[in-house]
């Protein structure tokens, strides 16, 4: 039966990570896959995470099953992280949270849930969006349609076009929004624009679905969630897929959460029971370790403060690199947008051929789309990277 199967190409982002690892040049620069890197180019374990792991190792008494929802302590800590601890949605039990195997697991379980609600659900995604949104949501059988988001010339959000297209969506359609740090563009909605989208979503009876994979890495934990929180305060129903991969540096531990908001505690409880049955039919229960770390960090004042300090330093480092990179590229062209955008990613607006030359001639790796991971830069390599971009642009 298997002999008829054709080999498929890898995920291009993971493929690029592999190619980079195999490149023997000592001065190579990885601006490809979206993992945070420190000044030395490493992706270290955060100190607060390390300490939480040490405590878990000493204090853990069992590895027995937890259940499809994962840890209740993790789930309530995540609810507060996303919505703020004073959220009426939490108080009124209109929001439920389940632990998920990474943001990807949350996205997929949300898609399966949407299909259970309505088998012919349409999800509107931004052009462009994270490439994995297509298999994660489309693979569950949802119809994917696109709304204009990034103007490819100005690299700014084409907000009027976005609204105009969403005017054409039908009641019950789902709108996927990036909570902050839009991947791949770095172009986020302003709070005023979140408010306008919220109004449209309410008026048309659309269902908002927010992918929150970078909370704390744009401008800060609270600011990054401001748009999402406004939306959550206005609409009757909503889904949120959150990832702890970046802001806790837990990538391979596969730690995330799926939050569900409905109009009443009774509806939320019934909807959550459906979600749990979907989880049971996919992987039964999520992995425990990453969530136990997050629960430990967020549940201890001292560890939490330490984690927040580390996260702030990561966020500030990215902001610094954005400004330094835009400045270094100023003689080469108009790259001001890099300083205005947020999160790890921006496009350089150069051709795939120029991207190929950077890789081949200069050992500088970025996605073919010219998406760069800012965190892969540092003050030592930055002038050389800017010069190489100048070289391929000449
Ligand atoms: N959503 C976006 C936009 C992402 O960039 C990522 C990536 O890392 C995720 C979701 C999910 O990540 P993970 O499954 O590693 O938590
Ligand atoms: O966009 C990125 O680079 C990150 C990391 O299959 C990532 O979101 C990339 C590919 C993938 C999973 C995570």
pTM, to two decimals: 0.97
Report d(CA 97, CA 69) in Å as an integer: 8
Distances from the Cα of 380 to the Cα of 39, 368, 376, 384, angstroms: 9, 24, 11, 8
HSE toward the beta carbon, residue 31, CA cutoff 13 A? 33
Which residue(s) pair with 99 in the sheet? 257
Q: Is residue 131 annotated as a catalytic residue, yes or no?
A: no
Query: Which ligand approaches the C-alpha of residue 109 most closely?
Result: 1
Q: Is residue 140 annotated as a catalytic residue, yes or no?
A: no
Catalytic hit among 79, 246, 288, 386: 246
Q: Residues 52, 54, 55, 58: what is their CA dihedral angle, to the nearest 10 degrees?
A: 160
When pLDDT is cut at 50, 70 and 90, the band that residue 138 belongs to is: very high
Report d(CA 210, CA 107) in Å as an integer: 9
- Which of 10, 13, 35, 104 most suits a substitution to test ligand 2, by most atoms within 8 Å of the C-beta? 13
Q: What is the largest CA-CA distance in the chain?
A: 63
Q: What is the pLDDT of residue 278?
A: 98
pLDDT tens figures, 203-246: 999 999 999 999 999 999 999 999 999 999 999 999 999 999 99
Domains of the chain: 10-45+304-393 (3.90.1150.10), 65-299 (3.40.640.10)
Q: Residues 82, 85, 87, 93: what is their CA dihedral angle, to the nearest 10 degrees?
A: 90
- Is residue 386 within 8 A of residue 40, CB to CB? The reply is no
Q: What is the mean pLDDT of residues 66-75?
A: 98
Dig out the tokens for 388 from the structure. Answer: 């190489």
Q: Which of 314, 256, 300 is nearest to 45 (CA)?
A: 314
Please, what is the Cα angle at 86 between 83 and 92, to 5 degrees?
85
Ligand 1 first shell, C-beta below 6 A: 34, 102-104, 130, 178, 183, 211, 213, 243, 245, 251, 256
User: Inter-axis angle of helices 191-204 and 226-234, to 10 degrees?
Assistant: 30
Share of residues in the chain with pLDDT > 90 (%): 99
Within the chain, how many helices (H) and strands (E) appear?
Answer: 16, 11
- Is residue 345 within 8 A of residue 366, CB to CB? The reply is no
Distances from the Cα of 31 to the Cα of 159, 252, 304, angstroms: 28, 19, 30
pLDDT tens figures, 262-273: 999 999 999 999
When pLDDT is cut at 50, 70 and 90, the band that residue 187 belongs to is: very high
Q: Is residue 130 annotated as a catalytic residue, yes or no?
A: yes
First to last CA, the chain: 53
Q: Is residue 194 annotated as a catalytic residue, yes or no?
A: no
Q: Which of 167, 166, 114, 102 is nearest to 138 (CA)?
A: 114
pLDDT tens figures, 338-349: 999 999 999 999
- Is residue 3 within 8 A of residue 338, CB to CB? The reply is no
Report d(CA 388, CA 377) in Å as an integer: 13
Report d(CA 97, CA 181) in Å as an integer: 22
């Amino acid at each position: 039966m298997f002999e008829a199967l054709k080999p498929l190409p890898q995920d291009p982002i993971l493929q690029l990570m592999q190619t980079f690892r195999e490149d023997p040049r000592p001065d190579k620069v990885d601006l490809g896959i979206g993992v945070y890197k420190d000044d030395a180019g490493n992706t270290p374990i955060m100190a607060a995470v390390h300490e939480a792991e040490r405590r878990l190792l000493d204090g853990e008494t069992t590895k027995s099953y937890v259940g499809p929802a994962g840890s209740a302590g993790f789930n309530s800590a995540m609810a507060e992280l996303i919505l703020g601890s004073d959220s009426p949605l939490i108080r009124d039990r209109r929001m439920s949270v389940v632990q998920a195997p990474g943001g990807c697991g949350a996205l997929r379980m949300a898609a399966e849930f949407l299909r259970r609600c309505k088998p012919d659900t349409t999800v509107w995604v931004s052009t462009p969006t994270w490439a994995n949104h297509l298999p994660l949501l489309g693979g569950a059988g949802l119809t994917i349609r696109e709304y204009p988001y990034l103007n490819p010339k100005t690299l700014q959000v084409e907000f009027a076009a976005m609204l105009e297209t969403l005017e054409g969506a039908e009641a019950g359609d789902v709108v996927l929004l990036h909570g902050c740090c839009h991947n791949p563009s770095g172009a986020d909605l302003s709070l005023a624009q979140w408010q306008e989208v919220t109004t449209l979503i309410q008026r048309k009876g659309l269902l908002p679905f927010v992918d929150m994979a970078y909370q704390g890495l744009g401008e800060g934990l609270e600011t990054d969630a401001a748009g999402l929180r406004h939306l959550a305060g206005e609409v009757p129903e909503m889904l949120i897929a959150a990832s702890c991969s970046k802001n806790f540096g837990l990538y391979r531990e596969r730690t995330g959460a799926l939050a569900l908001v409905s109009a009443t505690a009774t509806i939320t409880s019934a909807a959550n029971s459906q979600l749990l049955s979907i989880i049971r039919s996919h992987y039964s229960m999520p992995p425990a370790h990453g969530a136990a770390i997050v629960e430990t960090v967020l549940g201890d004042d001292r560890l939490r403060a330490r984690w927040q300090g580390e996260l702030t330093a990561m966020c500030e480092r990215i902001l610094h690199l954005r400004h330094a990179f835009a400045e270094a590229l100023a003689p080469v062209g108009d790259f001001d947008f890099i300083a205005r955008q947020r999160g790890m990613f921006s496009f350089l607006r150069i051709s795939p051929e120029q991207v190929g030359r950077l890789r081949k001639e200069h050992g500088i790796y970025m996605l073919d789309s010219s998406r760069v991971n800012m965190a892969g830069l540092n003050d030592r390599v930055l002038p050389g990277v800017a010069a190489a971009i100048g070289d391929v642009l000449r």
